[in-house]
């Protein structure tokens, strides 16, 4: 075969969105960032989850396969793309979402990581509006950011569920606003009148009840740390402790002055 007739195989397309077997079963693709505070390639540190509270100590995305070198590197690449070159990110993501493999599908934002800045939220909202054939959902602990930027101006193809275990839990109306709590097991979440989302993660945004219960991942040392509490109850206890500490500090201040 002469050189001119040698066919070079095109390199496989590099997708930004991925799918594990659980998500494939329900037709969901996933966009992932690293979890919590990470060291960047230049040695600096960055907090991807600014409102993380007790969840940071119980986070499944900081252990196991998420710590594999190649997995971490892929997540850091995603973060660098959307944080440092947001215009390129927006273009690449919008182009990718126009591919036929996403027609009628759901995209879950952040099985790990969060909406770390206003600019990043607004970028996603533009991507969603420019991808009308695709639907998006997420859990988030960025409660004030969402109430300020998203709640009154949400793209039609976007649903979300607040999630407990963060520093802004107190901003959620637990009786009326959709939210998720992580329980030690299914029995406990049913006893608390939460809807079990085990059969499909999409129940986080599609269940009739706004109270969404998630059984904790079966990771022994995290289960042990969580004990019989939920992420929400642990955060309330931490908030209470902080309040008591701060009011003690104020009292001391008052006594001195």
Give residues in contact with ligand SF4 (CB under 6 A): 35-36, 49, 52, 55-56, 59, 61, 112-114, 141
Q: How far is the CB of 22 from ligand SF4 (least distance, A)?
A: 17
- The nearer residue to ligand SF4, 33 or 102, going by C-beta atoms, is 33
Q: Where are the beta strands (DSSP E) in 45-188?
A: 45-47, 106-109, 135-140, 158-163, 179-183
- The nearer residue to ligand SF4, 56 or 80, going by C-beta atoms, is 56
Three-state DSSP at 166 gives: strand
Residue indicated by tokens 């077997």: 21
Q: How far is the CB of 147 from ligand SF4 (least distance, A)?
A: 17
CA distance linking residue 257 with residue 245, whole number of Å:
19
Of how many residues is the chain composed? 257
Q: How far is the CB of 32 from ligand SF4 (least distance, A)?
A: 10
- The nearer residue to ligand SF4, 113 or 210, going by C-beta atoms, is 113
CA distance linking residue 143 with residue 184, whole number of Å:
24
Q: Give the CA radius of gyration of the chain.
A: 21
Q: How far is the CB of 53 from ligand SF4 (least distance, A)?
A: 8
- The nearer residue to ligand SF4, 40 or 56, going by C-beta atoms, is 56
Q: In what order do the strands lie in the sheet with 135-140?
A: 28-31, 106-109, 135-140, 158-163, 179-183, 211-215, 195-196
- The nearer residue to ligand SF4, 108 or 141, going by C-beta atoms, is 141
Q: How far is the CB of 112 from ligand SF4 (least distance, A)?
A: 5
User: To 10 degrees, the CA torsion angle through 48, 142, 30, 42?
Assistant: -10
């Amino acid at each position: 075969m002469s050189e001119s007739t040698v066919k070079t195989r095109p390199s496989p397309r590099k997708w930004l969105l991925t799918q594990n077997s659980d998500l494939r079963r329900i037709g969901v693709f996933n966009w992932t960032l690293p979890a919590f505070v990470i060291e960047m390639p230049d040695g600096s540190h960055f907090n991807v989850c600014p409102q993380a509270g007790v969840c940071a100590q119980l986070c499944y995305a900081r252990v196991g396969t998420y710590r594999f070198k190649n997995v971490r590197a892929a997540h850091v690449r995603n973060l660098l793309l959307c944080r440092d070159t947001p215009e390129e990110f927006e273009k690449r993501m919008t182009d990718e979402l126009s591919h036929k493999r996403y027609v009628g599908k759901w995209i879950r934002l952040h099985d790990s990581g969060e909406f770390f800045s206003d600019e990043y939220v607004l970028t996603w909202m533009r991507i969603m509006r420019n991808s009308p054939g695709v639907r998006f959902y997420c859990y988030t602990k960025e409660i004030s950011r969402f109430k300020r930027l998203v709640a009154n101006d949400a793209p039609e193809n976007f649903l979300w569920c607040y999630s407990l275990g963060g520093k802004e839990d107190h901003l959620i109306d637990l009786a009326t606003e959709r939210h998720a709590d992580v329980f030690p097991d299914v029995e406990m979440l049913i006893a608390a009148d939460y809807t079990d989302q085990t059969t499909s993660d999409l129940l986080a945004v599609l269940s009739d009840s706004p109270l969404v219960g998630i059984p904790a991942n079966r990771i022994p040392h995290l289960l042990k740390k969580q004990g019989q509490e939920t992420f929400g109850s642990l955060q309330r206890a931490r908030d209470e402790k902080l309040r008591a500490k701060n009011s003690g500090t104020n009292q001391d201040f008052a006594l001195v002055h």
